[in-house]
């Protein structure tokens, strides 16, 4: 069976290519070309066929390539042990977690054009259509116990906010613990998964999903309000490769400095972008709901809630949260 992704390198430019040229480049028949193109619909790509001109993608795609590395500044680049780009994967987080016991080094980065089983927080599915958004994960080894990393996911939220800001999105906020939102609509999510001994060391996989250009059909599968970068930036065309490089850069430098600095150096910025502070919230605990008013976070990344005049703290592992209206 022909690798179904081979034709994409040629079609990515959005121009017409005849069935004959496509077939010749790959050494396959025109019928085989046609069959491969049929599979693109399943990926969410629209292929147009015009008699006498050939085939083209309705929208050009900037495929992710190793040029991502060029967008990463030197101090972060030297911390990477590998950077892999996959066309199709179950989950970039799952892929790196499977690598933990194979002796790979810290700083392993995995990106994918599509995830078939993208993972969200609390067992949710992360909708990950082909060539549209950013799905990336970074594997990092910490010598500390997992409990010392309780604020890490909040610090990564700031890393993503900074990368967005560098790319013209200045109004993104954080909804505890680490949803990146604009006007109540989700723009990006972070999923941190760890394995290791309770006394350390531990391996941490930091997964980031950012909506860049969500196709309508895929958007309909998302069960919460969402937004993507393209609709916020209107005419501007985001380079997925350059943006991916910047996200990797900020995430890796946060992972590198976290053991020494913890969450403390991110607190001021967190407080500035905290969208919940002062707002009524409902926390869903295993044994019932708790209502109160969000009062920000503490140094360990726990949410502080004023419950009838008494300040209570909640760790992100034990609750799910909704902003009350």
Among 54, 80, 115, 163, contact with ligand BTN (rule: CB under 6 A)? 115
Does residue 129 interact with ligand BTN by CB under 6 A?
no
Among 87, 124, 141, 165, contact with ligand BTN (rule: CB under 6 A)? 124
- Between CA 298 and CA 138, with CA 211 as vertex, the angle to 5 degrees is 60
Among 23, 107, 118, 215, contact with ligand BTN (rule: CB under 6 A)? 118
| 106 neighbors 139 (Cβ within 8 angstroms) | yes
Strands (E), the chain: 47-50, 54-57, 82-89, 108-115, 134-142, 173-175, 179-182, 185-196, 202-210, 280-285, 288-297, 303-307, 310-314, 320-323
| 37 sits in which H/E element | helix 30-42
Least separation in angstroms between CB 254 and ligand BTN: 16
**Distance (Å, rounded) from C-alpha 232 to C-alpha 301?**
29
- Which is the catalytic residue, given 121, 141, 165, 242? 121
* In the block, residue with structure tokens 């116990």: 145
Residue least distant from ligand BTN (Cβ): 189
Least separation in angstroms between CB 95 and ligand BTN: 8
Least separation in angstroms between CB 2 and ligand BTN: 28
Does residue 121 interact with ligand BTN by CB under 6 A?
yes
Nearer to ligand BTN among residue 37 and residue 83 (C-beta): 83
Q: Cis check for the bond before 60: say yes or no (omega within 30 of 0).
A: no
Stretch that binds ligand BTN, among 29-37, 70-78, 132-140, 221-229 (CB under 6 A): 132-140
Does residue 99 interact with ligand BTN by CB under 6 A?
no
Nearer to ligand BTN among residue 22 and residue 139 (C-beta): 139
Nearer to ligand BTN among residue 38 and residue 116 (C-beta): 116
Does residue 92 interact with ligand BTN by CB under 6 A?
yes
Q: Identify whether 121 is a catalytic site residue.
A: yes
- Pairing label, strands 288-297, 173-175: unpaired
Phi-psi region of 201 (alpha: psi -120 to 50; beta: other; left: phi over 0): beta
CB hemisphere CA count around 74 (13 angstroms): 0
Least separation in angstroms between CB 49 and ligand BTN: 32
Q: Identify whether 311 is a catalytic site residue.
A: no
322, 222, 212, 211: which is closest to 275 by C-alpha?
Answer: 322
Among 40, 55, 126, 176, contact with ligand BTN (rule: CB under 6 A)? 126
- Between CA 135 and CA 268, with CA 323 as vertex, the angle to 5 degrees is 70
Instruction: Give the footprint of ligand BTN on residues 174-233 (CB under 6 A).
Output: 179, 189-191, 207-209
Does residue 120 interact with ligand BTN by CB under 6 A?
yes
Site residues for ligand BTN per CB under 6 A? 91-93, 115, 118-121, 124, 126, 135-137, 179, 189-191, 207-209
By annotation, the residues acting in catalysis are 121, 186, 322
């Amino acid at each position: 069976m022909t690798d179904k992704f081979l034709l994409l390198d040629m079609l990515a430019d959005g121009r017409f290519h005849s069935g004959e040229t496509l077939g010749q480049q790959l050494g396959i028949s025109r019928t085989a070309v046609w069959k491969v193109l049929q599979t693109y619909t399943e990926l969410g790509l629209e292929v147009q066929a015009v008699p006498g001109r050939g085939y083209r993608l309705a929208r050009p795609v900037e495929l992710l390539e190793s040029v991502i590395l060029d967008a990463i500044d030197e101090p972060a680049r030297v911390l990477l042990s590998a950077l892999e780009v996959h066309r199709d994967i179950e989950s970039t987080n799952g892929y790196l977690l499977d690598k933990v016991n194979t002796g790979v080094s810290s700083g392993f980065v995995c990106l994918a054009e599509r995830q078939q089983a993208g993972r969200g927080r609390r067992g949710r599915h992360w909708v990950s259509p082909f060539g549209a958004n950013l799905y990336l994960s970074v594997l990092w080894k910490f010598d500390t116990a997992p409990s010392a990393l309780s604020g890490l996911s909040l610090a990564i939220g700031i890393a993503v906010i900074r990368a967005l800001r560098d790319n013209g999105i200045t109004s993104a906020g954080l909804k505890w613990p680490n949803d990146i939102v604009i006007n109540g609509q989700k723009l990006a999510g972070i999923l941190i998964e760890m394995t290791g001994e309770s006394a350390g060391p531990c391996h941490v996989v930091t997964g980031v999903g950012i909506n860049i250009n969500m196709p309508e059909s895929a958007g309909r599968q998302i069960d919460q309000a969402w937004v993507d970068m393209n609709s916020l930036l209107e005419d501007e065309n985001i380079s997925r490769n350059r943006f991916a490089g910047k996200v990797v850069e900020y995430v890796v430098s946060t992972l590198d400095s976290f053991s020494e600095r913890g969450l403390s150096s991110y607190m001021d910025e967190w407080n500035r972008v905290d969208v919940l502070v002062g707002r009524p919230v409902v926390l869903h605990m295993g044994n019932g709901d708790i209502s109160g008013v969000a009062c920000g976070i503490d140094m360990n990344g726990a949410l502080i809630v004023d419950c009838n005049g008494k300040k209570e703290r909640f760790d992100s592992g034990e609750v799910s949260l909704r902003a009350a209206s």
